[in-house]
Homo-oligomer: A and B are copies of this chain.
């Protein structure tokens, strides 16, 4: 069997949400000290990275990142203590969640179908559409 992986985001109602994209962005900013570098490393546009950051900064009364060298594009950025707290709380929750999922879904995961056991073509039996299942 394969251990199940939980993909999740935490929604604070109208106040915003945090999920793997925003947390990864914060982590890369923490490591590299630069928003534009973090965006490149994550394969997202600078504009998209900036939007994620703005969303975080406007969701909470504490900023998550401060500009280190002024407003120039690609300027330095560093995490605030609150930004570091956000990462830590999220990652701790994530780790606990995955452990809990492995326990809770063991009986289910044991029953996943072994793809190798199916026909090679298998076009009719297999699901055709890749589901996003929102």
Contacts and interface: CB of A to CB of B under 8 A. Distances in A.
A61 B127 contact: yes
B52 A131 contact: yes
Nearest to A133: B19
Contact of A6 (B9, B55, B115): B9
A133 B52 contact: yes
B113 A104 contact: no
Interface residues of A, number: 56
A127 B51 contact: yes
Contacts of A8: 6-9, 97
B58 A113 contact: yes
A134 B101 contact: no
A41 interface: no
B9 A112 contact: no
Interface stretch (A10-18, A28-36, A67-75): A10-18
